Amino acid sequence: MRAVGVDFGGTNVRAALVDVAAGQILGGDAKETVSDKSPEGVAATVERVVKAVDPKNERAGVGVGFAGMLRGWTGVVVNAPNFGWREVDFRAALRKRVGERTEIYNDLNAIAFGEATYGSARGVRDVFFCFVGTGVGAGIVADGKLYIGASHLAGEFGHIKVIPNGRLCGCGMHGCLEAYVSGRNLQAIAREDLQKTTSLAVELAGGLEHLHAGHLDEAAKRGDRYASELMEQAGSLLGVAMANAVTTLNPSRLVMGGGVWEKSSELRRHTMHFFQESVSRPALEGFEMVESTLGESAGVLGAAALIAGK
């Protein structure tokens, strides 16, 4: 069976036609930056990338991994911090453009399902997936099945509270993990702080307006005080949160991924220190931490497999 998988990051949308049985992407993929963030604008972007990868309409359906909180199987996006949406029937907009056999899944659930079906968690019955990129999210496989929760909101790891009455998050609440650790928010914090202090990161970026998390991580590696302190703070919050998740869920495997995690060695170093300091020791028996093996393909593979009913 062939199905199209679509994966939304914070800024990009990617699609591929997938041979679901083999777990193979057929004929390459299509990727676009989302410029118009209105529901109709995003739906039009999805239509373009789906047509690009499946011009002959060979698909059995379109699975869409979307970065947002969903209301069960209704197709309604309750809250999408990356897009500023509240209560949007996005599935209806998509089905008008790419067909009735279209379903929306939380993006991290799609990624987790991809890794569990084809990648680093294949055959493992209890897994926690943590991805740190533009945003922060998680997926859970419990007893061999993707766990989505009573209202499909399981795994909203980026929106657990780590600082009481802390920074405003894109979800509308304060003190979320994502508000301190995601690529977008590390950038925002630094741009605010560096109005009043200095950092090598600004020089590496070629100006404050160009600064992103990668510049902060590189500055921290070179001993810059501001960047080092920021990465240690982010790592402490992420490491303790991960330790609490492992202590609570007792997975046999923790899968880490996401662009910020993969490219930020200082963030990783601090995170692992605080994780080891904080995790329950009995929970480490039979436990291992691994990296995502599917990379950017996890979301499209997982979304395609979900719509195909694999």
Give the start-to-end residue ranges of the domains of the chain.
Answer: 2-114+296-308, 124-291
pLDDT at 152: 86
Contact 222, 255 (CB under 8 A): no
Amino acid at 182: S
Burial code (b: 16+ CB inside 10 Å, e: under 16) for 244-277 equals bbbeebbbebbbbbbbbbbebebbbbbbbebbee
pLDDT at 24: 95
Task: Classify 224 in phi/psi space as left (phi over 0), alpha (psi -120 to 50) or beta.
Answer: beta
- The position carrying tokens 């509270």 is 161
pLDDT at 10: 67
44: which 2 tokens?
A: 């039009």
pLDDT at 83: 87
Per-residue pLDDT of the chain (310 residues; tens, 9 = 90+): 999 999 987 678 999 999 999 999 998 899 999 889 999 999 999 999 999 999 999 999 999 999 889 998 999 999 998 888 999 999 999 999 999 999 999 999 999 999 999 999 999 999 999 999 989 999 999 999 999 998 889 999 999 999 999 999 989 999 999 999 999 999 999 999 999 999 999 999 999 999 999 999 999 999 999 999 999 999 999 999 999 999 999 999 999 999 999 999 999 999 999 999 999 999 999 999 999 999 889 999 999 999 998 5
Alpha helices (H) along the chain:
39-53, 90-98, 107-118, 178-181, 183-193, 200-205, 213-221, 225-249, 259-263, 265-278, 297-308
Neighbours of 288 (CB within 10 A): 11
pLDDT at 231: 98
pLDDT at 190: 98
Q: Do domains 2-114+296-308 and 124-291 have the same CATH topology?
A: yes
The C-alpha atoms of residue 272 and residue 213 are separated, in whole angstroms, by 18
What strands lie across the sheet with 85-89, from one edge to the other? 69-70, 76-80, 85-89
pLDDT at 28: 86
Q: Which CATH code for domain 124-291?
A: 3.30.420.40
Query: Domain 2-114+296-308, what fold?
Result: Nucleotidyltransferase; domain 5 (3.30.420)
pLDDT at 151: 85
pLDDT at 30: 94
